[in-house]
């Protein structure tokens, strides 16, 4: 039976090197599941695979879109399933790796059929966003759907607004529409999670942000600043530098906020992934153990 290896973990945990080790061992490409690494203009701030890493193994969904493009988890699901149809003609295994929770869920479980929002509800939520700001909608979501409130990106207006729209229009929670029916895939899914002690992750995040600044994150952010209203740029690393460019905060404060917001996002990722009992967790510094686990697990199904 064909097997999709799904490697997940929080930002800065160390997925890249293990991805390459798995790709080498099984002779397979890497399917990226990071919703921001798909944008060609953002390689530094999204820690996208470098040119050398992409030469070591073929990568899909890295730098293949522009920040002006609309792209969603639903589109990603369709694109990856179509790609897997082709890859499984040549390989018995495939590798999907990333930290974008909705993208991972879309491939593994499918996207739920959510109600269509009527124009009246959409306009009402939009007016509240414009007149009262995002915090007011976040608070409304906390009251209407505490479960989704805990895991949603509270700095992402599109996601917060959409969840509130669903709650208002249906009179029930956004969470109740998620994962009502898991789609059955014609391949086995083997989920592997990477994690480190919390303080170790904090230190790695803080260091990586400084390295990003040293390698040109500020210049990269300036290059896309004219398009700052795009949803693709509502992303940690860019929002904070945009505030600096606007004179609202110093560069030092922008860096501190990037570190803090990245640590916050890391905690949300772990909260999301820890709900999935199918994930087998490892420390990323044990690649031999992980590779042996994959080989043993695949052999059991052959």
- Look up residue 189 and give its two tokens: 């899914």
pTM: 0.81
Contacts of 226 (CB under 8 A, 6+ apart): none
Per-residue confidence (pLDDT) for residue 116, from 0 to 100: 74
Please tell me whether residues 153 and 256 are part of one structural domain: no
Identify the burial level of 164 via C-beta atoms within 10 angstroms of its C-beta, where 0-12 means exposed, 13-18 middle and 19 or more buried: buried
Q: What pLDDT shows up at residue 179?
A: 60
CATH code, 280? 3.40.50.300
Task: Decide which of 177, 201, 223 is a domain's last residue.
Answer: 177
Say how far apart CA 181 and CA 99 lie, in whole Å. 23
Q: Are residues 101 and 218 in the same domain?
A: yes
Q: Is 225 left (phi over 0), alpha (psi -120 to 50) or beta?
A: alpha
E strand or H helix at 98, and its extent? strand 93-98
Q: Which DSSP letter does residue 69 get?
A: S
Whether 89 and 2 have beta carbons less than 8 Å apart is answered as no
Q: Element (H or E) spanning 7, and its range? A: strand 3-8
One DSSP character per residue, 13-33 reads: SSHHHHHHHHHHHHT--EEE-
Query: Which tokens hold the place of 265?
Result: 């996002």
Question: How many structural domains does the chain have?
Answer: 2
Taking the CA atoms of 171, 172, 175 and 180 in sequence, report the sign of the dihedral they define.
Answer: negative
Q: Are residues 193 and 228 in the same domain?
A: yes
**Is 13 found in the same domain as 108?**
yes
Residue where a domain terminates, one of 177, 199, 215:
177
| pLDDT value of residue 122 | 87
Question: Is residue 269 within 8 Å of residue 150, measured between CB atoms?
Answer: no
Helix axes of 134-144 and 119-132: crossing angle, nearest 10 degrees: 120
How do residues 156-207 score in pLDDT, each as one tens digit?
A: 898 899 999 989 988 888 888 766 577 889 999 999 999 999 999 999 999 9
Q: Domain check: are 164 and 296 in the same one?
A: no
- Same domain for 9 and 72, yes or no, is yes
Are residues 136 and 37 part of one domain?
no
CB neighbours of 183 closer than 8 A, spacing ≥ 6? 109, 110
Residues 123 and 269 in one domain: no
One domain, residues 52 and 77: yes
**Does 173 share its domain with 187?**
no
- CATH code at position 146: 1.10.20.140
Question: Phi and psi of 188, rounded to 5°?
Answer: -80, 145
Residue 88: strand, helix, or coil = coil
Residue whose token pair is 């501190």: 256
Host domain of residue 82: 3-112+180-301
* Residue numbers of the chain with a pLDDT score lower than 70: 113, 178-180, 301-302
Q: Which residue has the tokens 């060609």?
A: 40
Q: Are residues 236 and 192 in the same domain?
A: yes
Q: Rounded CA gap, 77 and 191, in Å? A: 17
Identify whether residues 172 and 184 lie together within a single domain.
no
pLDDT, residue 301, reads: 59
Q: How far, in Å, CA of 298 to CA of 302, rounded?
A: 6
Query: Which residue, of 161, 177, 193, is where some domain finishes?
Result: 177
**Of 159, 212, 206, nearest to 48 (Cα)?**
212
Instruction: Give rounded-to-5 percent helix, strand, coil for the chain.
Output: 55, 10, 35
Cβ atoms < 10 Å from Cβ of 147: 12
């Amino acid at each position: 039976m064909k097997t999709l290896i799904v490697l997940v973990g929080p930002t800065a945990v160390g997925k890249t090197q293990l991805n390459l080790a798995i790709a080498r061992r099984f002779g397979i490409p890497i399917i990226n599941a990071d919703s921001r690494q798909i944008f060609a203009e953002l390689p530094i701030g999204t820690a996208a695979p470098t040119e050398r890493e992409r030469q070591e193994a073929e990568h899909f969904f890295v730098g293949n879109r522009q920040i002006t493009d609309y792209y969603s988890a639903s589109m990603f699901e369709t694109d990856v399933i179509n790609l897997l149809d082709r890859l499984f003609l040549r390989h018995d295994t495939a590798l999907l790796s990333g930290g974008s929770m909705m993208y991972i869920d879309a491939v593994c479980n499918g996207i739920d059929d959510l109600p269509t929002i009527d124009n009246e509800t959409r306009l009402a939520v939009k007016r509240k966003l414009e007149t009262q700001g995002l915090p007011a909608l976040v608070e409304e979501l906390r009251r209407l759907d505490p479960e989704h409130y805990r895991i949603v990106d509270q700095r992402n207006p599109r996601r917060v607004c959409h969840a509130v729209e669903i709650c208002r229009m249906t009179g029930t929670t956004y969470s109740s529409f998620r994962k009502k029916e898991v789609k059955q895939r014609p391949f086995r899914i083997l989920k592997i999670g990477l994690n480190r002690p919390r303080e170790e992750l904090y230190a790695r995040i803080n260091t990586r942000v400084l390295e990003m600044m040293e390698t040109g994150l500020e210049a990269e952010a300036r290059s896309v600043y004219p398009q700052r209203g795009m949803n693709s740029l509502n992303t940690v690393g860019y929002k904070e530098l945009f505030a600096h460019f606007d004179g609202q905060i110093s560069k030092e404060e922008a860096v501190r906020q990037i570190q803090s917001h990245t640590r916050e996002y890391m905690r949300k990722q772990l909260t999301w992934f820890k709900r999935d009992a199918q994930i087998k967790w490892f420390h990323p510094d044990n690649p031999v153990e992980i590779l042996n686990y994959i080989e043993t697990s695949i052999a059991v199904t052959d």
